[in-house]
Structure 1
Amino acid sequence: MKRRITFIQGSEAPFDPSQSQLTKDALLIRALDAAREERATFGFNELPSELWQVLKQCHELHIRWASEKPYNAVAPFSSRVSPGLHVFLTPIATDQPLARLCPLLKKIFSDDLKCTSPETSFTVPAILSERFASTSSSQFHSLLPSLSNLVTYIQQKACRASDAECQNRAVSILSADYVDIDYDSISHALTISGYWSKSPQGDGWTEEIKKRELGADKVEVGLLSSEPATEPEELKVGGFLAVVRENDNLKPTLFSFPSRHHPLPHDDKSSYTVSFPSPTGLHPTLQISIPRSSLKPPPAPSDATCALHTYLTLPSYIFADKYQLSTTDPLFLKSHNLVSLRAVSGETDLEAPDWVVPRWGSNLLLEVATPDHYPTQSEDSGKDWDITIPLHLRYLRPSPSGNRTVSVPWPVVFWACTAEQGTKMGTNPFDRVNLGWDGLFGPRTMFYQLDPSPSSGNTTERGRLVEEITVPVLPMKDGEEGASQARTIEFGTVAVIVFGFVWVLWKLGLVVWSSGTGGSKRAAEKRNEKKDK
């Protein structure tokens, strides 16, 4: 196993050399106010058998989990996905089913995942350009508030019972803001990355980072801070690097690299809120509110073309009408502050109830409109810029109360800007790819993320990046009485359908019989007239 630990400090909390001490055996840090990314890389021989049995059938497998709690995403870790568990899969052989994948995902993450098999539960992402797109062949999502199952799995499968350090590192995952798991068949290595925007204790990072005698082959540590970049498409970081038990001193460093993901400038940092205005009913409207003063275009290169987008991840019980959103009607688009529907994938059946939908849900990429005028912070900007997206709820199973509560993750909102020709984005040591929405753009596209801010929004439960909607359903009691009620409704429905069918046949029979009788009488009258003549 190899570990890479990176601390990123902001300009408001400069690094003090007295906060670190490198010894022969460890790196000691004290009260370090910084964001942290930790990455561990495992070889095949270090993985449980049930895990590599699944991985060897995958060309690529990328798992992204993001917390429902808001967090500060600093450069170079500024990219975002909607809250929950995202799985992106490209199998080696498309004609061989991966029967073990869903059971393994349920074991590692949650038994409640709506995952039967990749063939029936995963969706196929939209491909906007066969030439430039770099998306996986299928994807899956589920709302997952906690990674407690993953922690238990790591403790049982990767840690010895007596290894307190390994057990504690596994527990630290519970406080992570996001966790990435990546595998590809070329490297034959599994990488697990976690990001913490701040220390869980709130008073900075204080710990002793060691290289264990057994386990880690290499432990690299970076104490870095963001620096002003020379070029708009680049990020620059500087600070100190060290390899534990190999270096005697912290080595100063300063380097820059082109990056696809950028934060917006600190002074103009944009935020947004999400809500479902009441009453929601069965046709709720998702509203994204952005302060007008925060909607200035990003500091991209002068010749770049930028557009504001939002990417929605919708569970199976809520969906968008792709025919409605793909309209070119200028009045409809202007009334919702939309430009166009750029991509849609997943379950978009307009009639199916949720209990017959086999796949997890759907994704939408929308280009949204922006104001013609961008007021400054000192100006009275008036109301927020509201983007509204009409959605529809599927029929859900009955409940005793006549209502069910469903959760909808917040979408991500970002600027997408073109980069200069020849810009290479593959040299970023902190690059984060396979987010679902990034593969829908060209490889040289630059993204500027807006920050979700539930603390100032009209949310059902403040402090979460998930909205809850109360859905009216058929009231029905639980237990045997409820089952009897369901059978009564079912038999009654069948009886009404049969009665209606019989009634229609009876009416048709009367028409046919009356037509046949009348025709016979008229034929007989004509024959009698001919005889009389």
Structure 2
Amino acid sequence: MRERITYVQKLGDSLAPSAVTVDGGTIRGPEVHAAREDRLTIALDELPPELRALLRSTQGLHIRWVGTVAYEAVSPLLARLPPGFHVLFPPIPSIVDDIASGSLCATLVKIFGDISCSGPAESFTSLPEGRLQYYQQLDSLSHFIQYAKDQLCRGSGSSCAARLDSLSKAASLDISYDASQQVLRITALWPYQRQLVHATSDARLRTEVGILSTDQPQTLEPHEVGISGLLTVLGQDSKPSPTMFAFASRHRDAESSFSAQFLSPTGLHPTLQLRLDSRKPPALSPSPDVEDADDADSRCAPYAYLTLPRTIFADKYQLSDPLFLASKNLTALRYTTQPVDLEAPEYVTPQWGSAVLVQLSPPSGLQPRGKQKQKQKQEQHLEQWTAEIPLHLRYLAPAPGGYSTIRVPYPAVFWACEADEGVEFPPSPFEKAHLGYDALFSPRTVFWHVEPRPAEGRLLVSSLTVPVLDVDKAGWVSAGTAAAVLAGFVWVAWKLLGVYLRDGYGAGRKVEGEKKRQ
């Protein structure tokens, strides 16, 4: 097993080597404002038997958990997903039937707890290139933390359990299996905040600690991110070593934010409104002296990627009308999960829900142009704009009181920009792939992420109160329905009986005979 602990500070922040003490297998330093990322790399034969058997039968497995509490991200740790539990799974065709029997979902339930999937064939939806996708709202990692303690902390003392307990404050957790290397990578991210620089190595691990910050050397290419700082291998180095490097990154900071909320009144056809604080496309060059507004305007477009639970969905037919889309500041529906049953109630829908990618359209006249005056562009940069995404509720199961509350996670909002011809994005220490929406764009697409900020409170979730059948009054409904049906039957029977008593059964034959004689 290998471990990598990284503290990532903002541009301009740094820590002098003299402020860090390395003593054998322990590194100590002061508190710094930084995001922290811990990555544990485990070989396949070091995993528990049931997890090892599952992974050996796959081409890859990618699990992402994102907390509902808003957090600040720093470069290069910028890739975002809607809050919740995400699974991307590319099955091998020859063993799909074996996996679909329930081993995947059974393993997920054992590790993460309250996971409601029954099998890939029933609960998952399809993505391009034959991959399968699953999503579910999951607020806590408590079940995973206990499972990891049982599997990884046997005979390791209290330090192992304490580190796993710290996952309760993590912003995200990624678990990715690389079939080509037969290794499982578990990556946890804590948000940008005050962090105490302290780490201790384990005899079973090779532990590398980095205290880094973003940098902008003069040789930096437009598609690259610069990093500088200190690196230390615990148990091997006696002092930190300075380092500086750059790498191509597909995930960048758009330096803007958005919020989401449902417009009132919501009804059964609610509208999710996105409020963005800037209409300005990202600067494609790292140098502020380069005037590239025209270039960014033509190569970039804003998008919203939604993971909608089965309680709510988007109607692709409604989102195909150009005039309707323009009135909502939308350009087009670029992708939606297929098929989506428009009539099925929530309680008979087997799939987890649907994924939707919508291209947004800033209002006309707000897009910056390179030939405009600089002062005008700065003023327009402060202007907010909104986009509205119409959605539809499904019929929900009856509930006490006649109302149910559903929660819809914030979407991931980003600008997608096409990189220059010839630019490549090889694997890097901080790059994230297999996010779901990245497969809907070309490999040369760069994602400039817009930071989500809650409209109210701290949670990146929009709530809706939905009227449903009140189970406390369901008996009266059943009795009333039966009484109405019975009354209708009696009325029809009475009318038929009246006709029979007045005209008799032979009246019809008599009239028919007269017609024949004529």
| TM-score, normalising length: structure 2 | 0.87
CA distance in structure 1 between the partners assigned to 2:486 and 2:422 by the alignment: 69
Residues matched between the structures, number: 491
CA shift, 1:399, in A, is 2.1
Q: Secondary structure at the match of 2:351?
A: coil
Partner of 1:300 in structure 2?
A: 284
CA distance in structure 1 between the partners assigned to 2:352 and 2:488 by the alignment: 36
Q: Which amino acid aligns with 1:187?
A: Q
CA distance in structure 2 between the partners assigned to 1:504 and 1:384 by the alignment: 63
CA shift, 1:256, in A, is 1.1
Is the CA contact 1:311–1:412 (under 8 Å) kept in the aligned structure 2?
A: yes
CA distance in structure 1 between the partners assigned to 2:465 and 2:62 by the alignment: 33
Q: 1:121 aligns with which of 104, 113, 123?
A: 123
Is the CA contact 1:319–1:347 (under 8 Å) kept in the aligned structure 2?
A: no
Q: Secondary structure at the match of 1:94?
A: helix
CA shift, 1:310, in A, is 0.5
Cα distance per residue 1:64-104 (max 9 Å; x no partner): 11111111111111110000110111122334325122122
Partner of 1:274 in structure 2?
A: 260
Partner of 1:467 in structure 2?
A: 462
Q: Which amino acid aligns with 2:123?
A: S
CA shift, 1:262, in A, is 0.8
Partner of 1:236 in structure 2?
A: 226
Partner of 1:319 in structure 2?
A: 313
CA distance in structure 2 between the partners assigned to 1:323 and 1:494 by the alignment: 37
- Are 2:353 and 1:351 equivalent residues in the alignment? no
Cα distance per residue 1:187-206 (max 9 Å; x no partner): 2111100111235xx4x313
Partner of 1:221 in structure 2?
A: 209
CA distance in structure 2 between the partners assigned to 1:105 and 1:509 by the alignment: 64
Q: Secondary structure at the match of 2:21?
A: strand
Is the CA contact 2:212–2:227 (under 8 Å) kept in the aligned structure 1?
A: yes
Partner of 1:62 in structure 2?
A: 62
Distance 1:497 1:117, change over 3 A: farther
Is the CA contact 1:58–1:184 (under 8 Å) kept in the aligned structure 2?
A: no
Is the CA contact 1:310–1:413 (under 8 Å) kept in the aligned structure 2?
A: yes
CA distance in structure 2 between the partners assigned to 1:34 and 1:315 by the alignment: 33
Partner of 1:130 in structure 2?
A: none
Partner of 2:179 in structure 1?
A: 185
Cα distance per residue 1:11-56 (max 9 Å; x no partner): 3532232331223333222213221111001112221112112222
- Are 2:273 and 1:287 equivalent residues in the alignment? yes
CA distance in structure 2 between the partners assigned to 1:310 and 1:526 by the alignment: 73
CA shift, 1:243, in A, is 1.6
CA distance in structure 2 between the partners assigned to 1:234 and 1:19 by the alignment: 29
What runs of 5+ residues in structure 1 fail to find an aligned partner?
128-134, 478-484
60-69 or 42-51, which deviates more:
42-51
Q: Which amino acid aligns with 1:373?
A: L
- Are 2:32 and 1:32 equivalent residues in the alignment? yes
Distance 1:382 1:75, change over 3 A: closer
Q: Secondary structure at the match of 1:255?
A: strand
Distance 1:494 1:248, change over 3 A: same
Partner of 1:259 in structure 2?
A: 249
CA shift, 1:468, in A, is 1.1
Q: Secondary structure at the match of 1:448?
A: strand
- Are 2:146 and 1:143 equivalent residues in the alignment? no
Partner of 2:103 in structure 1?
A: 100
Q: Secondary structure at the match of 1:149?
A: helix
Q: Secondary structure at the match of 2:51?
A: helix
CA distance in structure 2 between the partners assigned to 1:19 and 1:136 by the alignment: 51
Is the CA contact 1:347–1:361 (under 8 Å) kept in the aligned structure 2?
A: no
Is the CA contact 1:63–1:88 (under 8 Å) kept in the aligned structure 2?
A: yes
- Are 2:471 and 1:476 equivalent residues in the alignment? yes
CA distance in structure 1 between the partners assigned to 2:229 and 2:35 by the alignment: 14
Partner of 1:442 in structure 2?
A: 442
CA distance in structure 1 between the partners assigned to 2:432 and 2:320 by the alignment: 30
Cα distance per residue 1:405-463 (max 9 Å; x no partner): 11110001100000112211114221101111111101110010000111xx2x3xx11
Cα distance per residue 1:266-297 (max 9 Å; x no partner): xxx21111111221121111000012xx2211
Distance 1:282 1:84, change over 3 A: same
Q: Which amino acid aligns with 1:110?
A: G
CA distance in structure 2 between the partners assigned to 1:253 and 1:335 by the alignment: 51
CA shift, 1:162, in A, is 5.3
CA distance in structure 1 between the partners assigned to 2:490 and 2:316 by the alignment: 38
Q: Secondary structure at the match of 1:225?
A: strand
**Sequence identity (%):** 41
Partner of 2:331 in structure 1?
A: 339
- Are 2:46 and 1:46 equivalent residues in the alignment? yes
Q: Secondary structure at the match of 2:174?
A: strand
Alignment of 1:384-399 (within 5 A): 384-399=384-399
Distance 1:254 1:206, change over 3 A: closer
389-398 or 6-15, which deviates more:
6-15
10-19 or 250-259, which deviates more:
10-19
What runs of 5+ residues in structure 2 fail to find an aligned partner?
286-291, 369-375
Distance 1:423 1:475, change over 3 A: same
Partner of 1:205 in structure 2?
A: 196
Q: Secondary structure at the match of 1:155?
A: helix
Distance 1:420 1:528, change over 3 A: closer
Is the CA contact 1:19–1:31 (under 8 Å) kept in the aligned structure 2?
A: no
CA distance in structure 2 between the partners assigned to 1:38 and 1:503 by the alignment: 74
Superposition RMSD on alpha carbons, in Å? 2.9
CA shift, 1:3, in A, is 0.5
Partner of 2:357 in structure 1?
A: 365
Q: Secondary structure at the match of 1:363?
A: strand
CA distance in structure 2 between the partners assigned to 1:519 and 1:28 by the alignment: 104
Distance 1:75 1:500, change over 3 A: farther
Alignment of 1:507-518 (within 5 A): none
